[in-house]
Amino acid sequence: MLELLKKLTQTNAPSGSEERLHNIITEEIKDYVDEITIDPLGNLIAHKKGNGAKVMFAAHMDEIGLIVTYITDKGFLKVSNLGGVSPTTALHQRVIFSNRTVGVVALDDTNADLSKGIRLSDLYVDIGAGSKEEAEKLVSIGDSAAFCGDFYANGNTVISKALDDRSGCAVLISAIKQIKTVKNDLYFVFTISEELGLRGAKTSAYSVAPDYAVAIDVTRTGDTPSKLSMAVKLGGGAAIKIKDSSFLAHPYIKQLMKETCEEFSINHQFEVLEAGGTDSGAIHLSGGGVATGCISIPTRYIHSPSEQVDLRDLESAAELAVKMIEKGFNQGA
Ligand code: CO
Ligand code: ZN
């Protein structure tokens, strides 16, 4: 899991550039599924054929980033956000473009009163170009950049950028490899543009038209010295989502998760996230409605270059997915 997580997080794929992950994911899972397709928007859909109800699992491929809106005469880049970028967090971080050009996110006015808050429009990216012409040799309007954030593992603790949601992708890949018995028609979807509003989940849920669905994504924790009142903690196991701002877990899926964890002694905890959402928000509202749940991975410092997870939580999340699949989704049976 560690090596896979490193490979996935250190691939730079902000929303719109998810195709950079297609080969990595395909290589990992191709021997374990019957068919892999890339849909018109770039969702990677792996089908493991089976009888019975259709079940869709989803993890999003994209990460947050910046996109160039304007290049100044002196060669500095003005940028807009791809997903939830906090200007305060972005300040003085490094970003990297697809051609390996690296820039520093800096503040227009060093005398600005930081206590009053900064906006993304106050920031620029400095790629070391001396002029607009020089900058234009390296980047163009509309080019996107990912935040840099090296991968470190201290025992079970992993620190990296893009753990949102490459840890979900790693969990799903790992689960796909471990499934021994198939009781449903299974679809594993690696979605695009979750960070821009659950876009790939919306369209893939329409095309797959599942009866049941489970999203796998990160969630916040309440175990740091912050004021957040939240029961989820790092190392506390797979988090069974009950609610976030776009979603209430379906009682059947919630119960199946709980029972599965109890039956197989999988370390778990329950999650109520007051702000934020995942692909499950879009999937459960697709078609005539889909019984949906979400397995969350406790993560500190989400949407920063130094997100933090505990490997054991990822392993619990993968085990939960595998055991649910092996038990089978069949409401009312
Ligand atoms: Co996110
Ligand atoms: Zn996410």
Give the pLDDT score at 116: 74
Angle at 208 between CA 329 and CA 186, to 5 degrees: 40
Give the pLDDT score at 108: 78
CA-to-CA dists, residue 158 to 26, 55, 171, angstroms: 24, 30, 14
Give the pLDDT score at 333: 67
Q: What's the longest Cα–Cα distance across the chain?
A: 69
C-alpha 194 to ligand 1 mean position (Å): 7
Q: What is the DSSP string of 137-204?
A: HH--TT-EEEEP---EEETTEEEES-HHHHHHHHHHHHHHHH-----SEEEEEEES-GGGTSHHHHHH
C-alpha 223 to ligand 2 mean position (Å): 19
Query: What's the mean pLDDT when you consider all of the chain?
Result: 96
pLDDT tens sequence across 104-158: 999 977 666 667 788 999 999 999 999 999 999 999 999 999 999 999 999 999 9
pLDDT tens sequence across 147-205: 999 999 999 999 999 999 999 999 999 999 999 999 999 999 999 999 999 999 999 99
Q: How many helices (H) and strands (E) does the chain have?
A: 9, 18
pLDDT tens sequence across 258-277: 999 999 999 999 999 999 99
% the chain with pLDDT above 70? 98
C-alpha 162 to ligand 1 mean position (Å): 8
Task: Say whether pLDDT at 285 is over 70.
Answer: yes
List phi, psi (to 5°) of 294.
-145, 130
Give the pLDDT score at 226: 83
The total of other beta-carbon atoms located within 10 Å of residue 185's CB is 18
Angle at 283 between CA 303 and CA 271, to 5 degrees: 55
Give the pLDDT score at 45: 98
- Please compute the mean of the pLDDT values over residues 20-42 and round it to a whole number: 98
C-alpha 3 to ligand 2 mean position (Å): 20
Task: Say whether pLDDT at 239 is over 80.
Answer: yes
Give the pLDDT score at 228: 78
pLDDT tens sequence across 66-104: 999 999 999 999 999 999 999 999 999 999 999 999 999
List Cβ neighbours of 100 (8 Å cut-off, separation of 6 or more). none
Identify the nearest ligand to the CA of 201 by its number.
Answer: 2
Question: Hey, where are the domains in the chain?
Answer: 2-63+161-327, 65-147
List Cβ neighbours of 33 (8 Å cut-off, separation of 6 or more). 46, 47, 48, 176, 188
Q: What is the DSSP string of 76-123?
A: PEEEEEESS--HHHHTT-EEEETT--EEEEEES-TTS-GGG---GGGE
Give the pLDDT score at 110: 65
C-alpha 63 to ligand 1 mean position (Å): 7
C-alpha 280 to ligand 1 mean position (Å): 13
Task: Specify whether the CB–CB gap between 174 and 1 falls below 8 A.
Answer: yes
Q: pLDDT-based confidence at 232, cuts 50/70/90?
A: very high
Q: What is the CATH number of domain 65-147?
A: 2.40.30.40
* CA-based R_g, the chain, Å: 20
Give the pLDDT score at 229: 86
**Residue 203 pairs with which residues in a beta bridge?**
none
pTM value > 0.85 = yes
C-alpha 12 to ligand 1 mean position (Å): 14
Per CATH, the homologous superfamily of domain 2-63+161-327 is Zn peptidases (3.40.630.10)
Whether residue 165 has a cis bond before it, omega within 30° of 0: yes
User: Encoding tokens for residue 315?
Assistant: 């392993």
Task: Specify whether the CB–CB gap between 249 and 217 falls below 8 A.
Answer: no
Tell me the C-alpha distance between 107 and 290, whole Å. Answer: 45
Residues identified as active-site = 194
- Please compute the mean of the pLDDT values over residues 220-231 and round it to a whole number: 89
